[in-house]
Amino acid sequence: MNAVKPLAWPEYGQSAIATPTYGVIETHGETTPHPTASTAKVITMLAVLEKKPLQRGESGPILTMKQADVESHAWYVAHNGSNTPVYTGLQLTQYQAIQAVLLASSNNMADTLALWAFGSLDAYHAYANAMVRGWGLKNTTIGGDASGLSPLTTSTASDLARIALRVLDQPVLAEIVSQAEADVPGAGVIYNTNRLLKQGNIVGLKTGETVEAGGNFILAGTQGHGTQSQQVVVVVMGAPLASVAIDDSFELFQSSLGNFEYRVVLAEGASVARIVLPWQDEAADIIAAQSVRGWMWANRPPTVSYVSPDVIEADRTGVAPHIAGPVRVTFGDENTGTTRSVPSRVETPVSPPPFWWRAWRAATP
């Protein structure tokens, strides 16, 4: 097991590193909920797509802007919120509306989509809060609006990292956050506020900045090893400005890469258990029947566990017991990480229980 190489943690706020395999690996700084600013929009879009599903390659239904949408745009303009222009009768597809939210960070379009999907912001808040609770996120609360301009939407770096992993697992959202620009009706060509996309290994995700939040940023990048690759998420919250959060998140991302190694984490033939059968002098050796490879974090090797099947019936019937259960390899926390299962096999011959043993077992309640 290797020591963790130095990580470029920001000195302010709170930060986190996560991968799809491990979940959240490391956190730093504060742990109390903090205003999300526009990073809240990824929560909004996840909720919208749960309510109004869209498959990759589809444009989705047409949204026609109404007077309320025009008034929402005017309100955000007056409050210096990011926006995309709309007018009564303007039509956008669902996909284009999501592009406006995630690329240009359009506050008014985030509210428009939430109202379209849920009927009211109150209904959206109720749905979104239930959604994140269902994901086990206890430090995230959605309120005020659907855009994140309100400081009532709060979260932690750890929770946002787990939310970001869900974005990357959602094909439509993963595609959109990776786009540098898009042509959206009413707004024309819009550009992604994530300037790190010009870096070859950065694939998203979302910026955020308000007076209350300071600068927040969720970064998603990739790391490769031959034909293998993994996604790495970094979250930085509470920077003086979004531009600072962007720069610091990239430094943290770069510093994290040296702590990952793609390797064999369980070798075929590795001993995983020894089982003692009362009627047999020699213990039965259980070994892994397949190897497991994966991305391992420096000081957090996966845990290996053997699941022994019930052998009582074999004891009674005289059949050689089936004792080669599955081997589980768990990366990270068992609640938020991932587990792979591979078969095992018996290395030591296992004999059936003799008559005297079966007779004794039959007489035993």
How does residue 100 score in pLDDT terms, banded at 50, 70 and 90?
very high
CATH for 14-258, among 3.40.710.10, 3.40.1160.10, 3.40.50.300, 3.40.50.920? Answer: 3.40.710.10
What integer is the mean pLDDT of 250-279? 86
How does residue 236 score in pLDDT terms, banded at 50, 70 and 90?
very high
Phi, psi of 13 (to 5 degrees): 55, -135
Count of alpha carbons within 13 Å of 246, Cβ hemisphere only?
17
pLDDT at residue 318 above 50? no
Phi, psi of 117 (to 5 degrees): -80, -35
* Angle formed at CA 334 by CA 330 and CA 336, multiple of 5 degrees: 110
Asked if 17 and 256 count as a contact pair (C-beta separation under 8 A), the reply is yes
Q: Which of 171-185, 217-231, 342-356 has the lowest mean pLDDT?
A: 342-356
**Cα–Cα dist 289/271, whole Å:** 10
**Cα–Cα dist 60/53, whole Å:** 9
pLDDT digits (tens, 9 = 90+) for 166-195: 999 999 999 999 999 999 999 999 999 999
Q: How confident is the model at residue 316, as a pLDDT?
A: 47
pLDDT at residue 315 above 90? no
Sign of CA dihedral 193, 250, 27, 22: positive
Domain segments of the chain as ranges? 14-258, 264-363
What integer is the mean pLDDT of 320-332? 75
- Return the higher-pLDDT residue of 347 and 145: 145
Q: How confident is the model at residue 312, as a pLDDT?
A: 46
What integer is the mean pLDDT of 91-105? 97
**Cα–Cα dist 107/80, whole Å:** 10
pLDDT digits (tens, 9 = 90+) for 269-290: 888 887 777 666 667 778 888 8
Q: What is the pTM of this model?
A: 0.87
